[in-house]
Chains A and B, each alone.
Chain A
Amino acid sequence: METSNLVEVTSTRVRNFMLAPIRKWLLIGVALSFLGIFIFIPLLAVFSEALKKGIGLYFAAIIEPDALAAIKLTLLTALIAVPVNTLFGVIAAWGITKFNFKGKNMLITLIDLPFAVSPVIAGLVFVLLFGTSGVLGPLLEANNMKIIFAVPGIVIATLFITFPFVVRELIPIMQEQGSEEEQAALTLGASSWQMFFRVTLPNIKWGLLYGIILCNARAMGEFGAVSVVSGHIRGLTNTVPLHVEILYNEYNFAAAFAVASLLALLAIVTLVFKSIVEWKTKRNDHGER
C-alpha cells in the first residue's frame, strides 16, 4: 500500500515537473503578448509618430507659442491643484486613521466619489454651477468674474478630479502603522507639531510622495473634465492634452504626437518614480522584522 502510494506521488511530481516549464512559458508568453499589444505598442507609437516627420518638426511643434502657452497653463494648474489636494489628503487621512468615530466608512466612500464620476460629468457639474446660466452665473457676471471657459474653471475641475489621490494612498499606510509611535512621542513630551513633523511625516513620506506623483500625473493629464470647462481658447485656456486634441483634429498628426510625447514622458517619469518609491518602502519593510 504505502509503496504504491509513494510511487504514485513521485510519478505525479515527475509529470508536474515536466509540465511546469511548458505551462510557465506559455502563461508568460500570453501575458507579455497582451501587455505588449495593449500597453507597450501604444507607448511606442506615440514616440514613433512624433518623430515621423523628423526631429526638427518635433521641436518646432513643442516650442510653438500655442504649445508653450498650453504647457504653462498645465504647469500652473498642477502647481495649484497638487499642493491643495496634498494638504487635504494629509489632514483628512490623519482624522480618518487616528481616531474612531461613527460614519468613518461613509466618509471614506464620499472621498472616493470623484473616482466614480465620469470626468465629463465632473466638468458638467461646474458648468452648471458657474456657467452663464448656472446657479452662480448671474452673481459672477455681476461681479465681472469668469470661471467657466477661463483658467479658474480649469483649476477647479482639476481639483475635483485629483481630490482623492493623496488621501487614498495615505489611509492604508497610516491605518497599518497605528498610532503607538505618536503616543510614545507625546509621553516623551513632544508638542503636536513636533509629533507630526518628527514622527508621523517621516513614517508616511514614501506613501505621501507616491500619492503626490499620482495626483500630479492626473492633474497634468486630465482631459475630459478640463475639456468641458475650458472652452478651448487657443493660447489662453488650452492645457497640453487639449492642445493635443486640437492638433489631432486638424490632422496635424506629427505635431499632435510631438506634444503628446511630452505627456507620455511624464507618464514614464511617474512610473519610474513609482518603482523607486516601491523599492524604498519594500526595503524598509524588510528591515522591519
Chain B
Amino acid sequence: MEMGITLNGVTKVFGAQAAVQDINLEIPTGDFVALLGPSGSGKTTLLRMIAGLEGLDKGKIFFNGVDYSAKTVKERKVGFVFQHYALFKHMTIFENVAFGLKVKPRKWRPSKKEIREKVFELLRLVQLEHVADRYPSQLSGGQRQRIALARALAVEPEVLLLDEPFGALDAKVRQELRHWLRDIHQKLNITTVFVTHDQEEALEMADTVVVMNHGRIEQIGSPQEVYEKPANAFVYSFLGRVNEFRGAALLNVSDKEEAVGYIRPHEILLSKIPKRYSVAAEVSHVHAVGSTVRAVLRRLDTNDFFEVEVALDLYRTLDQFTKGALLYAEFTNIIVFKEKEKLGRSMIVEKVTGEAFSALS
C-alpha cells in the first residue's frame, strides 16, 4: 500500500467542460510538489479536490492508502493556504492562528496556555511574533501570506496545500518567500503541494513538478527532468523562452506540415562569419542590460524573427553588435515535435542539429 496521497482517475466536470480529466498521481510522504500550468489548466481545481473543497465527478483520492474521496473538508485535516489568504478580517493575528485550535471539540482542545504557546511558536516560525495583536488589514501582503501559513500549520496537518502562494505579491517579496517556504518545508517535512503558473517558481522550489494543461497532466518529474527532457512541445515551451519554427524553416524533417521545431534563445550560436550550418540574420533589436544580452534577429532566408541570448563577454567578442548588423546563427540543438492530430499534443520525433537548416544558408 502506497503512503502519501494517491489520485486515481480523478475527474471534475464544470458544465460541459472537463476542468480536470482522468488524473493519476502519486505524492509520496514528505514530497514538495508543484502543480504547474497556465491559467485554466485545472491545477487549482485539482488542489481544491485534494482538500475536499471541490467534489469529485469520477475517480478516487487516497490519503495513506485510505479512501478519502467521500470525506469532508473537516475530516481530511489538510492545511490549506488560499491565494488571497482568506484571513479572518475581524480577528487579530493571534486569534487567526489560534482558530483551528479553539474550534477543536472540548476533549481534544488544548488549554488556553497551550494554545498561547503554540500560537507564539508558530509566529516565531514565520518571524512575525510582533504582529500578534494586529488585524490582517494592518499587515503587508507578504506578512499576510506568512500568517496564512502559520494558521494552516497550527492544526498540525499531514498535508499542506497552497494555492498560488505568491501570486498576489510583488517580485522582490516573492523571491524572499520562496526560500523561506523551502526552509520551512525542510524543517517540518510535511507533504506539500502548491499551485503556480510561474515555471521559475516551480523549478526552483519543488522536488517534483507536475506540468498540467487542459485538465490533464503533461509530465511529472524532477525539475531537471522536465526542463531537460520535456515530454512534449507544450512542456518544452512552457518551461522557458523558446523560438518556434514551422514549415520551410525546418529542413531535413519529414512531414514538415505537422512538425514544429523549438530552440531556446541561449542555444543559438552567433558568429561574425558564416559557419557550415549557419543562417544569415539581421539584428533588429538589442537589449543589453545585465549579465546576458538579449537580441531579436530576422532570418534573411525566411524572414522569421527569433530571440537570442548571449553572455556579456561573448557579446563583446561580437563587436557589441547593434541594430542592423549582419550575423550568422547556428541552431545547435533544435527539438522537433510532431503534432498528434486529435489531442493537439505532440511528441518528440527527432532531435536535430544545424543540418536541419543547412540547405537554406
- Give bound CA distance, A198 to B89, whole Å: 11
Interface residues in A22-68 by Cβ distance below 8 A to B read none
Contact assessment for B82 and A184 in the assembled complex, using a CB-CB cutoff below 8 Å:
yes
Q: Evaluate contact between B151 and A188: CB separation under 8 angstroms.
A: yes
**Number of chain B residues whose Cβ lies closer than 8 Å to a Cβ of chain A:** 27
Using a CB-CB cutoff of 8 Å, which residues 164-202 of chain A contact chain B?
A: 180-181, 183-191, 194, 198-199, 202
The binding surface of chain A is classed by DSSP as: helix
Q: How far is the CA of A148 from the CA of B42 in the complex (A)?
A: 59
- B130 located at the interface, meaning its Cβ lies under 8 Å from any Cβ of chain A in the complex: no
- A281 to chain B minimum Cβ distance, whole angstroms, is 12
* Size bin of chain A's contact surface: 20 to 34
- B residues within 8 A CB of A183? 53, 73, 80, 82, 86
Q: Are A190 and B99 in contact (CB under 8 A)?
A: yes
**B137–A198 touching, CB < 8 Å:** no
Contact B89 A203 (CB under 8 A): yes
Q: In the bound complex, how far is the Cα of B152 from the Cα of A194, in angstroms?
A: 17
Q: A180-B86, A187-B78, A203-B90 are in contact. Are A198 and B99 (CB under 8 A)?
A: yes
- For A187, the closest partner residue in chain B by CB is B80
A181 x B80 contact (CB < 8 A): no
Task: Evaluate whether A287 and B103 lie within 8 angstroms (CB atoms) in the complex, with A186-B73, A189-B74 already known.
Answer: no
- Are B137's CB and A188's CB within 8 A? no
B265 within 8 A of A: no
Contact A288 B103 (CB under 8 A): no
Query: Is B77 a contact of A189 with CB atoms below 8 Å?
Result: yes
B168 to chain A, nearest CB (A): 12
B79 within 8 A of A: yes
Docked-complex contact A188 and B53, CB < 8 angstroms: no
Pair A180/B99 contact, Cβ less than 8 Å: no
The answer to whether the Cβ of B155 comes within 8 Å of any Cβ in the partner chain is yes
Encode contact with A along B39-81: 1 for CB under 8 Å, 0 otherwise: 0000000000001010000000000000000001110011110
Instruction: Tell me if A289 counts as interface (CB < 8 A to partner B).
Output: yes
| B-side contacts of A184, CB under 8 Å | 80, 82, 86-88, 151
Cα–Cα distance between A287 and B139 once the two chains are bound (Å): 10
**30 residue pairs A–B, Cβ–Cβ below 8 Å:** A180-B84, A181-B86, A183-B86, A184-B80, A184-B86, A184-B151, A186-B73, A187-B53, A187-B78, A187-B79, A187-B152, A188-B99, A188-B100, A188-B151, A188-B154, A188-B155, A189-B74, A189-B77, A189-B100, A189-B104, A190-B74, A190-B99, A190-B103, A198-B99, A198-B103, A202-B88, A203-B89, A203-B90, A287-B135, A288-B137
For the complex of A and B, list the 5 residue pairs with the smallest distance between their C-beta atoms, beginning with the closest. A188-B100, A180-B86, A287-B137, A184-B86, A187-B80
Besides A190-B100, A287-B135, 13 more A-B contacts (Cβ < 8 Å) are A183-B80, A184-B87, A185-B99, A185-B103, A186-B72, A187-B73, A187-B152, A189-B155, A198-B99, A198-B103, A202-B88, A284-B89, A287-B137
B residues contacting A by CB (< 8 A) are 51, 53, 72-74, 77-80, 82, 84, 86-90, 99-100, 103-104, 135, 137-138, 151-152, 154-155
